Amino acid sequence: MSTSAARYHQRMGGTRRDEFSARTKTSLAARAGHRCSNLTCRRLTTRPAWQNTEEALNLGEAAHIYAASPRGPRYNASMTPHERKSIQNGVWLCKTCAKIIDAEEAAYPPETLRVWKQHAEAGAVRDSAAAVDQTGLLLADIVAARELLLSFCEAWQRNEPSMSFEIPFAVRTENSLKYSSDRVNAYHREIEPHIARVLVIARHILGSSHQAIVDLESESTDAHVNYIEMRECARNLQQLHSILELR
């Protein structure tokens, strides 16, 4: 339950709440990287106070996964007071998302909030290992690699040797095989190093097990085979770009 919901509950004569300690709230915020844990929000929850140059504003809340009191959202009667106010029962959110999860309890079950918390903490670990401008540089590299790949694909496909039946079969076959071999060699020389660079940096930021990394690794392995695989690899690059833009 968010702080605002707690105040309302107390005004309505609610029973004693199992509140988080100040230390628990501080730890929840830090473990989430001071960002909202909602995967579609990820808003920064602190900023400088403009009028007081020595202070910072807190824009987040330590929300209960299972309610702190009986009439709260997602209340679990089997939990002890100690369990309700433990850090395991908390998730760090911006003030807006903290209100939404309580107002729309059915849409945000405990399982969803735990997944948010897990991903937010994993993201904070990855962010701590990345330079401030590393994601921005990677986004530029992805755009460049994707545009280069698509241009390569279009140029080589446009210049495919003629398969006209007026040309003897043996000649057509020889021309096609040579062109295919030249294209593969050119791909390894001109395209592969750019995608390899993207993968190295992306693994550092997102982690090797991230699905976008796994998909790009798999597709880039076969992208030299034909034009369909090249375009699918370009699609995976765009998907990776979209994920990184949300960080």
Per-domain residue ranges for the chain?
3-128, 134-245
- pLDDT (tens digit, 9 = 90+) per residue, 170-215? 999 999 999 999 999 999 999 999 999 999 999 988 888 889 999 9
Average pLDDT over residues 134-148: 91
* Lowest-confidence segment of 11-25, 28-42, 67-81, 88-102 by average pLDDT: 11-25
Whole-angstrom CA distances from 157 to 160, 162, 187, 188 are 5, 11, 13, 16
Residue the block writes with tokens 């976008």: 212
Q: What are 52-90's pLDDT values in tens digits? A: 888 999 999 999 999 999 989 999 999 999 999 999 999
Q: Give the span between the Cα atoms of 20 and 22, in whole angstroms.
A: 7
Judge whether residue 91 has pLDDT over 70. Answer: yes
Strand partners, 63: 91
